[in-house]
Structure 1
Amino acid sequence: MGDRRELKIGDLTIRHPYVLAPMAGVTDLPFRLLCKEQGAGLLCMEMVSAKALQYKNKNTKALLSIHPEEYPVSLQLFGSEPDVISEQAKALEELPFQILDINMGCPVPKVVKNGEGSALMKQPRLVHEIVSRTVKATRKPVTVKIRKGFDDTCVNAVEIARIIEDAGAAAVAVHGRTREQYYSGKADWDIIRQVKEAVRIPVIGNGDVTCVQDALHMMEQTGCDGVMIGRGARGNPWIFRELKCYDETGRIPPRPEIGEIREMMLRHARLQVKYKGEYSGIREMRGHVSWYTRGLRGSARLREEINKVETYQELEELLQEKLM
C-alpha cells in the first residue's frame, strides 16, 4: 500500500490524515497521548472559551496543557467576538501547539445561545471577520470546524467554507449534520463532497466514521483530504492503529482482545491520575470505561459497578475480576 496519504495544513505536513476530533470532556491530555501512540496524525484539544481565557479562568488554563510527545496538536477556541478570539490567539501563540482551530460547529444549547459554536453558521459576515482577524493575529495556521448548516432551512456549509477560505484559513473541517440534528440521524457526506469541490484549501470530513472502512468510504465518496474521528474513537484509540496499518501495509490488524482492552484502560487511568490526581482522574475514567467495554460480555454489570469506584486500586481490582 505504501504511506500514500498525507494532509498538508499551512506549512505542516501530517503523515497520516486521520484526526482525533475535539470533544469536551474526552480529548484531554491522557486520551490524546494514547491516540497518538496508536497512530493518530493530528490531535485536537478540548475546545476552550476565548472569553474565559480573557478573564483568566483557572479551569480553562488546565485545558491548555500540551505534551511534546503529542505533536502535531491543534488548539481549539470558541467565541463570537472577533477582537476577543484574535487577541487570545495572539496571547496563546507561544504555547507549543501547531494549529489554531476556531469552533463553528458546537451544537450545545448554552454555547449556541451565546451566538457561539454552530450559531455562527447563521452569520456569514461575522464568520469572515473572526477568521480574517485571527489569521492576521497569529503566525500559526488557522483552521475552522463547521457543520452542514444550522438547520434544514439553513444548509450553507459551502458558502461558509468559501468565506473561511477567502478570510485566509488553512483548512476547514465539515461535520455532515446540521446543528438541529446534534449527533442523531445519518451524517450527510455529500455536503462534504460539495465543500471539497468548492474550495482549494484542504477539507477534513467528519461524521459517522467508526472503522477503517468508514474512513476509506468517506475519502472515496467525498474526495476529502483528511478524516476526523470523534465518537468513533471514544474507548477505541485502536481505530488510529488500524488506519495507519492499512495505509502502510494494506492490511487491517485484528481488533484488540480483552486483555489488551483492560491494559489500555489501566494505562489510561494511570495517566489520568498522573495529570489530574486520583480523585478527579478516576471519576473521569468512569465514562471512558463504559466506552471501552461497550459490547463486551458482562459489560452491563461492570458499568453499574464502575460508578462506585474511587481509587486506581479499586478500578484495577474491578477490571481484573469482571474482564476475564
Structure 2
Amino acid sequence: MRIGQIDIDRPVILAPMEDVTDRAFRQLCKRHGADIVYTEFVSAEAIRRGAEKSIRKLAMDEHERPVAVQIFGGTVESMVEAAAIAESYEPDYLDINFGCPVKKVAGRGAGAALLKEPEKLLAIASAVVNAVSLPVTAKTRIGWDHDSINITDTVRRLEDAGIRAVAVHGRTRSDMYKGRADWGRIAEAKQACSIPVIANGDVWSADDAVAMFAETGADGIMIGRGSIGNPFIFAQAKHLIKTGERLPLPSYRDRIEAAREHLRLSLEYKGEKHGVLEMRRHYSTYLKGLPGVSKVRNLLVREPDPAVIVELLREFEATCEALDREGLLKEGGEFLNDHSPKLILNY
C-alpha cells in the first residue's frame, strides 16, 4: 500500500480514537507492531482557535512514524486553515474524518454527517488536498443509513478529488457500533476505485485480520476498539498474515507490563495528575479476565500516587505468578475453571 513516500505491504494500522490514540498509546502500539498510527481526531475549529488541548493532540515523536493526523470539521474554511496548521507538525500524511458517528461531531455537520451532503464533502476534500503539500487521505463509512449506502460513489469521487487512500468502516452512521461491520461493502469500495482502500470494523483478533484481508481484498486493515488494552494484536495479526502461524497469547506478565509501560508513557507526556487520571479507563481492558481483577482494578482507579500504582501492579503480578505455579491459569492468564475466583487473593 503506497501513500506518498510510505510503501508497506498489507499494513496493519491503528485507527484514530478520541481519548485513546494519544502519544502514549500510539507509541505502545508501534512497539507492538502497528505499521501506521493515527492521532486522535482533532476539531478543525479548535485548531484554528488555538485551543491548547487540541493543539497538544497534534504533537508526535519521530519513532511513531509513519503517523497521520486526522482532522474533522464542517466547513471548507475551517478545514483548510486547520490542515495548514496540522501540516506544520510534520505528520507523514493528513486524514479527513468523514465517518465519526457521535452526536458531538455528526450533530454539528462534520464527520459522518457529510455523507448526507456529498457535494460539501467533496468540496472539503478537494480544498484540503489543494491547501497542503502532504498526501491527504480520508476515513468514512458505507453510508448515512441503510437506505442511503453510497460508498462506491463516495470513494470514486474522493479519488477524483485527489484523496490518496480511503479507510472504510463497514457500518452506516445509523449503525453506530452495533451489529456486524459489512465487509462486503468494503470489498465493493475496493473494486470501485484505484487508490488504496483500508478496511475497518470488527477486527478483534489475528484471525479476524486474516479474514478481513481475504474477504475485502483491501490494501490494508485498520484496528480500533480491538486494540484497546490489547496492543499485542498488531504483532499477532502480522505474524499470522505473513507466516500462517499464530503467536502465543500474551501472558499475564505481558499484559501487566503493557499497563505499566502505558502508565509510564502517560506520565511522561501528561504529567502526574493527568497521566494518572487518564490511565484509569485502561486498567480494566489490560487486566480483563485475570484472577481477582475486580479487586485490584478498584484500587488502581482510586490511587493518585503513580508509585503506589506500580507497586499494586507488581503485587498483582506476584499473585498471578503464585497461581500459575499451582497450575491454575490458562495460557493468557485467565483461571482454568469458573470456581477458581473463589480463591482468596491478598488485596
Compute the TM-score of the two structures, normalised by the length of structure 1.
Answer: 0.95
Paired AA for residue 157 in structure 1: I
Paired AA for residue 80 in structure 1: G
- Counterparts of 1:150-161 in structure 2 under 5 Å? 150-161=144-155
- Counterparts of 1:217-232 in structure 2 under 5 Å? 217-232=211-226
Measured after TM superposition, the shift of residue 43 of structure 1 is 0.2
Q: Runs of 4+ in structure 1 displaced over 4 angstroms? A: none
In 2, the alpha carbon distance for the partners of 1:269 and 1:38 equals 16
Aligned counterpart for 1:26 among listed residues 5, 20, 23: 20
Q: What SS does structure 1 have at the residue aligned with 2:281? A: helix
Q: Highest CA radius of gyration, 1 or 2?
A: 2
Aligned counterpart for 1:88 among listed residues 77, 82, 96: 82
- Partner residue of 2:285? 291
- Counterparts of 1:33-112 in structure 2 under 5 Å? 33-112=27-106
- Partner residue of 2:164? 170
Measured after TM superposition, the shift of residue 39 of structure 1 is 1.1
The question of whether the paired residues in 1 share the 8 Å contact of 2:47 and 2:85 is answered with no
TM-aligned CA distance change 1:80 to 1:260, over 3 Å: same
Bigger mean CA deviation after superposition, 31-40 or 244-253: 244-253
The question of whether the paired residues in 2 share the 8 Å contact of 1:176 and 1:191 is answered with yes
- Partner residue of 1:146? 140
Cα deviation 1:180-237 (Å, max 9, x = unaligned): 1111111111110110111111000000001111011111111011000000000011
Paired AA for residue 153 in structure 2: E
Bigger mean CA deviation after superposition, 10-19 or 168-177: 10-19
The question of whether the paired residues in 2 share the 8 Å contact of 1:15 and 1:41 is answered with no
- Counterparts of 1:225-304 in structure 2 under 5 Å? 225-304=219-298
Compute the TM-score of the two structures, normalised by the length of structure 2.
Answer: 0.89
Paired AA for residue 310 in structure 2: E
The question of whether the paired residues in 2 share the 8 Å contact of 1:124 and 1:163 is answered with no
Measured after TM superposition, the shift of residue 255 of structure 1 is 1.1
Q: What SS does structure 2 have at the residue aligned with 1:19? A: strand
Q: Identity of counterpart residues, as a percentage?
A: 43
Paired AA for residue 141 in structure 2: R
In 2, the alpha carbon distance for the partners of 1:194 and 1:104 equals 18
Measured after TM superposition, the shift of residue 49 of structure 1 is 0.6
Measured after TM superposition, the shift of residue 14 of structure 1 is 2.7
Paired AA for residue 161 in structure 1: V
Calculate the aligned-residue CA RMSD, in Å. Answer: 1.3
Q: What SS does structure 2 have at the residue aligned with 1:177? A: strand
Measured after TM superposition, the shift of residue 52 of structure 1 is 0.6
- Partner residue of 2:210? 216
- Partner residue of 1:3? none
In 1, the alpha carbon distance for the partners of 2:23 and 2:115 equals 29
Measured after TM superposition, the shift of residue 260 of structure 1 is 1.6
Measured after TM superposition, the shift of residue 16 of structure 1 is 5.2
Aligned counterpart for 1:199 among listed residues 172, 193, 203: 193
Bigger mean CA deviation after superposition, 219-228 or 291-300: 291-300
In 2, the alpha carbon distance for the partners of 1:279 and 1:306 equals 14
The question of whether the paired residues in 2 share the 8 Å contact of 1:196 and 1:223 is answered with yes
The question of whether the paired residues in 2 share the 8 Å contact of 1:93 and 1:140 is answered with yes
Matched, 1:136 2:130: yes
In 1, the alpha carbon distance for the partners of 2:22 and 2:9 equals 22
In 2, the alpha carbon distance for the partners of 1:16 and 1:280 equals 36
Unaligned runs of 5+ in 1: 1-6
Measured after TM superposition, the shift of residue 62 of structure 1 is 1.1
Matched, 1:307 2:298: no
In 2, the alpha carbon distance for the partners of 1:201 and 1:292 equals 36
Q: What SS does structure 2 have at the residue aligned with 1:46? A: strand
